[in-house]
Amino acid sequence: MPNLSSVSLKPSAIQQEIRQTKPFRSKGQEAVVGLLRTADTLRRALGKVVEPHGLTLQQYNVLRILRGAGDEGLPTLEIAERMIERAPGITRLLDRLEAKKLVRRQRCPTDRRQVLARISRPGLELLERLEDPMLAADALLGQLPRRRLELLIELLDDLRSAATA
């Protein structure tokens, strides 16, 4: 029989936040719900920074990827592979960015089946304007001590590795 003095009857922070009255079936389930809730909270905070500029977080991610690629640009499928949040409609995503004149696309001269995307000057300028506001939003995690941030990064790496194995 478990020692009742060691069992916490107080609901966890995530239970209170989502107003769940019953305990989770397992600590793993509680961790998954907490991770998903945290990801949503961070996504909304970052979205508030890019949305006034007519961007989604996925579009912002594409612009950052293309900035990192430099003048060579990247094929469409490689952009999709590098994205933080996988987007099945990468072509539509690029269509929207091209309509906003933030990227430009052209057929690859050596392989006509490939389309290369490059960030445009207005796209670079927009990223530059977003740099400080995004750093401020990223500071949400900066409240954690470095040692705990490193542990969090390691744990998240382990989770992604296990999920893709």
20-51 CB burial, b ≥16 within 10 A, e <16:
eeeebeeeeebeebbeeeeeeeeeeebeebbe
pLDDT of residue 9: 65
Ranges of each domain in the chain: 51-164
pLDDT tens readout for residues 108-165: 777 778 889 999 999 999 999 999 998 887 777 878 898 998 999 999 999 989 988 8
Average pLDDT across the chain, whole number: 88
pLDDT of residue 8: 56
Mean pLDDT confidence for 7-13: 71
Question: Is the pLDDT higher at 110 or at 29?
Answer: 29
Give the whole-number percent of the chain exceeding pLDDT 90.
50
CATH class of 51-164: mainly alpha
